[in-house]
Amino acid sequence: MAEDTPSETTDRDPPAEAIHRLPTLKHAAVAPDGSRVACYYTGSGSNEIHVLDHASGETDRWTDGEAGDTNIWPLAWGPDGERVLFHRDDADGGEAYDVFAVDRDGEVERLTDTDGSTQLRGVGPDARLLVRSSHEGGMDAYVVDDGDWTRLTDREKPVYYPILSTDGDRVALPTGEGIEVLDAAGSVVAEFRVDGDEGTATPV
């Protein structure tokens, strides 16, 4: 008997169109208690938020079109693990992203409503949000507390990658010379300067 040989139709170099149709999984985010993982997944044919239960291995879909078509920005969990926060562009492709939250029942709440683009950078234990937003012109850092905005920076250059502390009371902000640490009102409380291969910490 002749040995089995690979099928003549086996496609070892699939066309780009076939690869493009493959489902994608992006921006996995672990729940605060570590029991679940949220992610964007396109297996249903559209970009949706799915949540995987670590213990059972079961996956639930939390959105049905509400997540929008784009998934370029990360997901985050609310502090109680009941909701997943995501970004959606409601400006018909104008990249005017805002932050929304969805629970396991598919209930969606809009958390920011701006004319510019708003990107979530952190969620505090009290559910306050750290965002970078262009809704007042430049791209600056803000704290959003139940719809109330506190501006932390007002700079000529865009603010990149602000990081919220675990207690939600401070923000680390990269600068061209090092890192600044701000309090919840935007005041600089510490500075870390980089000079060559050495760094110095300067309390304010």
Which of 35-49, 140-154, 190-204 shows the lowest per-residue confidence on average (mean pLDDT)? 190-204
**What would the 3-class secondary structure string for the chain be?**
CCCCCCCCCCCCCCCHHHHHCCCCEEEEEECCCCCEEEEEECCCCCCEEEEEECCCCCEEECCCCCCCCCCCCCCEECCCCCEEEEEEECCCCCCCEEEEEEECCCCEEECCCCCCCEEEEEECCCCCEEEEECCCCCCEEEEEECCEEEECCCCCCCCCCCEECCCCCEEEEECCCEEEEEECCCCEEEEEEEECCEEEEEEC
- Which is nearest to 118 in space by CA: 147, 82, 77? 147
Q: Is the pLDDT of residue 174 over 80?
A: yes
pLDDT tens by residue, 151-162: 999 988 899 999
Decide if 129 contacts 114 (C-beta within 8 A).
no
User: What percentage of the chain has pLDDT greater than the value 90?
Assistant: 62
Q: Is the pLDDT of residue 18 over 50?
A: yes
The residue ranges of every structural domain in the chain are 22-108
Residues 74-97 have a mean pLDDT of 88
Neighbours of 111 (CB within 10 A): 20
pLDDT tens by residue, 103-123: 999 999 999 998 889 999 999
Residue 2: what pLDDT?
A: 44
Residue 136: what pLDDT?
A: 83
Task: Label residue 175 by pLDDT band (50, 70, 90).
Answer: confident
Report the predicted TM-score, pTM, of the whole model to 2 decimal places. 0.82
